[in-house]
């Protein structure tokens, strides 16, 4: 057996082990999210309460109306944003790209607020508006990058500009239409405290669909991550493929933003951590990012609502405290590698 084959088999074995551990971590995170909080519930009590299913029981109401929607929302948001970041990094061939860095989250948020200001309230309109906003932001970054033949770092700077424009637009809407979005402060900070099961109905379908499409797109993303010229020589229609993959990323990010607000850095940190441990093969990175992103956001949300009792910190702020230093480190590392190369 050649050295290459041995290396490839070791990578695949490590990837399967990581997928198993990520799934186990997700189950533990789900259990912790349901049990822990201002009023801790034991595992045996949790199982007993769920078996009885008594709607008049106060513990049952806490679990089903408060903790279950929140944990499910964290799982959906984490999986959607992490896989969206994985796709964007592969399409743009840029390890610094992620939904919040290049303005995808802000674009989705802007269209959500605009829809809330101009149209009657609807749980189904918000995910659609978030998708179009996320897609519009993706296409803007891709267009400016293609026109200028920008470097990786310059592409991120373009994303910052797009992010700033949409952020200014959101602030303008909230000034002109103060009642445009109930709980807009929590929405802008990124939080899950007001998530309901009803609000998750449409986004959960979109995220599930997006995850399936992402797995099916993994081979094409592997080609794109090797460079446009290489993908073109193998017969790929690069512009069309990019738009299709960005549409999938927009579905995932837009659906997540529609109910959790502007939670950032999940799409940056999770793919980086996964690739560092199991390599860059998207056939494994995408499902691993979905599982890791799910338990990562669940744990971060759990910490943000229990560390500062009786107060609660929005999970978006908590993640920004973690993600900002990591992003700065990645920028410095990228610059150092470019200079040394």
Dump pLDDT digits (tens) for 212-221.
999 999 999 9
pTM for the model: 0.88
Is the preceding omega at residue 2 within 30 degrees of 0, hence cis?
no
| Mean pLDDT lowest among 10-14, 197-201, 294-298 | 10-14
Once rounded to an integer, what is the mean pLDDT over residues 189-218? 89
Distance CA 330, CA 332 (A): 5
3-state secondary structure the chain: CCHHHHHHHHHHHHHHHHHHHHHHHHHHHHHHHHHCCCCCCCHHHHHHHHHHCCCCCHHHHHHHHHHHHHHHHHHHHHHHHHHHHHHHHHHHCCCCCCCCCCCHHHHHHHHHHHHHHHCCCCCCHHHHHHHHHHHHHHHHHHHHHHHHCCCHHHHHHHHHHHHHHHHHHHHHHHHHCCCCCCCHHHHHHCCCCCCCCHHHHHHHHHHHHHHHHHHHCHHHHHHHHCCHHHHHHCCCCHHHHHHHHHHHHHHHHHHHHHHHCCCCCHHHHHHHHHHHHHCCCHHHHHHHHHHHHHHHHHHHHHHHHHCCCCCCCCHHHHHHHHHHHHHHHHHHHHHHHHHHC
pLDDT digits (tens, 9 = 90+) for 56-75: 888 888 888 889 999 999 99
pLDDT of residue 239: 80
Kindly list the domain boundaries of the chain, sorted by start residue.
Answer: 75-335
pLDDT of residue 148: 54
pLDDT of residue 92: 80
- pLDDT more than 90, % of the chain: 23
In the predicted model, is pLDDT for residue 198 greater than 90?
no
More confident residue, 126 or 339: 126
Distance CA 28, CA 9 (A): 29
pLDDT digits (tens, 9 = 90+) for 176-189: 887 765 556 667 77
Which tokens is 280 given? 């860059």
In the predicted model, is pLDDT for residue 228 greater than 70?
yes
CATH topology of domain 75-335: ABC transporter involved in vitamin B12 uptake, BtuC (1.10.3470)
pLDDT digits (tens, 9 = 90+) for 234-246: 888 888 888 888 8
């Amino acid at each position: 057996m050649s050295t290459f084959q041995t290396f490839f088999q070791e990578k695949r074995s490590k990837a399967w082990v990581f997928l198993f551990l990520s799934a186990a971590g997700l189950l533990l995170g789900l259990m912790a999210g349901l049990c822990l909080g201002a009023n801790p519930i034991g595992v045996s009590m949790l199982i007993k309460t769920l078996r009885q299913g008594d709607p008049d029981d106060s513990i049952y109401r806490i679990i089903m109306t408060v903790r279950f929607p929140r944990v499910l929302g964290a799982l959906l948001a984490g999986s959607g944003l992490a896989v969206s970041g994985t796709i964007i990094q592969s399409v743009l061939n840029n390890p610094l790209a992620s939904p919040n860095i290049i303005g995808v989250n802000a674009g989705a948020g802007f269209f959500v607020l605009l829809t809330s200001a101009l149209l009657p309230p609807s749980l189904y309109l918000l995910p659609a508006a978030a998708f179009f906003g996320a897609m519009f932001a993706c296409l803007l970054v891709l267009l400016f990058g293609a026109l200028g033949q920008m470097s990786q770092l310059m592409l991120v700077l373009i994303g910052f500009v797009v992010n700033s424009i949409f952020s200014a637009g959101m602030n303008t809407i909230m000034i002109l239409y103060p009642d445009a979005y109930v709980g807009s402060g929590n929405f802008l900070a990124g939080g899950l405290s007001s998530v309901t099961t009803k609000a998750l109905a449409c986004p959960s379908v979109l995220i599930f669909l997006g995850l399936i499409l992402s797995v099916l797109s993994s081979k094409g993303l592997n080609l794109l991550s090797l460079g446009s010229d290489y993908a073109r020589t193998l017969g790929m229609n690069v512009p069309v493929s990019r738009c299709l993959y960005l549409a999938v990323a927009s579905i995932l990010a837009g659906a997540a933003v529609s109910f959790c607000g502007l939670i950032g850095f999940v799409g940056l940190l999770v793919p980086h951590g996964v690739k560092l441990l199991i390599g860059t093969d998207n056939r494994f990175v995408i499902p691993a990012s979905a599982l890791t992103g799910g338990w990562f956001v669940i744990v971060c949300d759990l910490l943000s609502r229990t560390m500062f009792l009786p107060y609660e910190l929005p999970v978006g702020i908590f993640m920004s405290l973690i993600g900002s230093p990591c992003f700065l480190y990645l920028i410095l590392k990228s610059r150092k590698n470019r200079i040394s190369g």
